[in-house]
Structure 1
């Protein structure tokens, strides 16, 4: 059984100690690697019983999670786990009970490769068809693997992958209905973000805010907002497109009541190795020496600055996949993001299961205060500990939030697999840690507020954990306030390390 530990600390972030092992190599690589394996079963509403604890009675709804579920075909492994075919996991909670369903997204690519029993398409992150560069040259098709996020919009569940359109699924059976144009909003082949943001109601009604990007020497960002409740759920409310100079790698963004905030990383893209079959498209990205990252601030159509052109400001050095949150404070926009010193990539000659963690850049949470009057930017780092997948209480999306929850490494500095969950008090640096080390590894934590509660940290964290000792997946329910364990649910199937998930409260 995994040894779990919880500790609360109030030191400054630079002096916080880990809850257990704190040294390079303090985990077993085989334990970590064993979490990457093909999912061989699809289940429907299988009852789950807690190994320990009890499911909170007020936790009522569905936790959907997306992530790669197939890594190998006919003895060939994907080059990068992000190239794995998307599989949706649904855990439904009702009356202190839980059931599990899972199903692969039936993209046309998945169906063709299932029938052939081998990889027929290249992956964006470096997976190649057999036959070397000659067999892959000039095949520039993108395989929509629908593996990054899953959200409900209206009566459809959407499996998202940001380089193409969403796949529509049945929210109950998880059956794939096919690519969705969202009632004609999207053109065939148009990109649709895999990282939407949910406005909790800053302008009287909740909305899903999202974007699509068409990148190149000039990049176009299409910003869209959809209704999420009532008979109009799924209806497009606002739509604008803006052009910016330079190549854009955009996975995430942030929102406030009046703004959307994008970070254009200082990145070069040389497509020639991709066209010649030598690399995946993402492997052709490199940090631009001497380049200048930019903040793109696009006004929301529902806000005070509706109709105005975007504002552009210089951004700090570094590379960002994910943002935590943003809010407005006088003449400033405050944005909290996870910064890497360099673009993290796995080169063609590397095996992701044996990569050298000591040479991989770590992500660290930082705050940027952007002065809208052009008086500069102030930055603040919250901790040296490697972190990812951070979120605030969804009711505080776009507003100042005191607390954040994130997945972190067990060691205090340097890159390492994510083995712990941290609650961070953004006002004073106090931290609370829950650890699955040395043999457990965590995925993205999802914060679910307690119904009717006004306290920002009153609710639960849902966390999928890979138990390296038992070679099994578990779902942890933690108290969001103190990270105390509420329940541990053993999964009847392997659920590999996922990407993003969502919560849909029961009606």
Structure 2
């Protein structure tokens, strides 16, 4: 990488990190490993930790000297960390999408990015090129025998769960039409209605938006079989990244968003840059009945949502006549405009994510909102066995400081009942990714481990950190032979 790859920026007085440490994570992944044995640089790998951590995120951020305009436009790279009897092995592969292969051969970007990356030649070259580049970079989950690399605007890519070799686009045994959108944020029902399921959705957006809600078996020989399927159409443009589930409901928050496609059509902006918070509309909670629940076949129920923008939800559950949902709210839709450099983000000028709880009364349609924590957070989860139920504990990535925005440097265990917390910090030179809580067989909700990939600004490489889920005490640090850019989502597969 050239000396000028990262612009020189001074750290603001309010920041307790060096900008160069944070930005140094953004580089191309230049190696692929197969079953590389990892040793604990500190501590010991728990011998009861048995399974595979899969991670997805952008791994190709530059071609022929041109950088993506936003990391979310980077090509997907999967990392697999397999644990067994106190040992760990690493495998990583780029998802060999059609576009990745074409651009590797060409040695340059030949597709536009949704978040603003342009082909060479300016607006004239990009105008009227409305193709979507499936970058398969957002999440990775196992469904049946298929490991699925997900990007929510297109169909998933199927990979081999062990080698990570790319098989190609999957239509899930005929469930999906060619190019049909498939969410990058499925939810795994632990068995609320006597059967564990993967619940997910796809959205067809426009002046009216249609949500296709799908549920797949995750059990035995039927794993991967579609067992529930419904479509519902709503007024307005729907930007939906995540949702929540309860035994009876799939809960969506339709953000109040306007979409002006003209700058995208004329080659001036990426499609996501054409989104903006609506001044004339309110967000809405959309409660779609699940076919396995008590309200199957009934129409959806719609409720006005509080102001703000939501990417991610923590959890939801049912309590008497209420549906309760915990979500991370931003004051506004965060976006990187064409004249902005993502490496020069001023964290003080962009909205932070705040954890809030909304109670939706099904009888009188009242919605009340409560702030659970004012600390900037993202990537929150509960024990997966508590998904859709009232959970006491959550684990999330947070900023180092208590108030205001900042890069994610802490892992926090948060008691949703009394606000008590435990903190593990990677600061000042470390930056955390999404924590994955792996439960033990214990009946205690917070027994298990928390796994997170950490960018080590001192080592200029990534570490895998294993924490005790109960008190976030450090169990082991594994120094990876990879420099993995700040990533997105991942999953844990037992066995």
TM-score by length of 1: 0.95
Q: Give the RMSD, CA atoms, in angstroms.
A: 1.0
Aligned to 2:458: 469
**Which runs of structure 1 show a deviation greater than 6 angstroms over 4 or more consecutive aligned residues?**
none
CA positional deviation for 1:23: 6.5
Partner of 1:15: none
Is 2:424 aligned against 1:438? no
- More contact order relative to length (CA 8 Å, sep ≥ 6): 1
1:226/1:237 contact within 8 Å kept: yes
Given that residues 23 and 411 in structure 1 are in contact (C-alpha distance below 8 angstroms), is that contact kept between their aligned partners in structure 2? no
User: Which residue matches 2:470?
Assistant: 481
Give the Å deviation of 1:22: 12
Q: Which of 399, 402, 408 pairs up with 2:398? A: 408
Paired position in structure 2 for 1:177: 167
Q: Secondary structure at the match of 1:444?
A: coil
Whether 1:454 aligns to 2:454 is: no
Cα distance in 2, alignment partners of residues 36 and 391 from structure 1: 25
Query: Do 1:105 and 1:159's aligned partners in 2 also have CA atoms closer than 8 Å?
Result: yes
Length, aligned pairs only: 485
- State TM-score, norm by structure 2: 0.97
SS at match of 1:362: coil
Residue of structure 1 in register with 2:372 after alignment: 382
Closer, same or farther: CA 272–174 of 1 in aligned 2, 3 Å: same
Query: Aligned partners of 2:166 and 2:219: how far apart in 1?
Result: 23
Q: Within 5 Å, give how 1:269-418 maps onto structure 2.
A: 269-418=259-408
Aligned counterpart, 1:505: 494
In structure 1, C-alpha distance between the alignment counterparts of 2:35 and 2:106, rounded to whole Å: 30
How far off its partner does 1:371 sit? 0.2
From 486, 493, 497, the equivalent of 2:482 is 493
* Structure 2 residues not aligned, in runs of 5+: 1-10
Post-superposition offset of 1:334: 0.2
Q: CA deviation at 1:374?
A: 2.4
Q: Distance in 1 between matches of 2:377 and 2:393?
A: 15
Shift of 1:290: 3.3
1:167 to 157, 161, 186: 157
- Residues 1:147 and 2:137 aligned together: yes
How far residue 259 of structure 1 moved from its aligned partner, in angstroms, is 0.3
2:228 matches 1:238: yes
Asked if the contact 2:303–2:365 (Cα under 8 Å) also holds between the matched residues in 1, the reply is no
Whole-angstrom CA distance in 2 between matches of 1:357 and 1:482 = 29
Q: Deviations over 1:35-86 (max 9, x none)?
A: 1110001100000000011111110000000000010000000000000000
Please give the secondary structure, in 1, of the residue aligned with 2:57: strand
Residue 403 of structure 1 contacts residue 424 of structure 1 at CA under 8 Å; is this kept in 2? yes
* In 2: Cα distance, 1:492 partner to 1:205 partner: 40
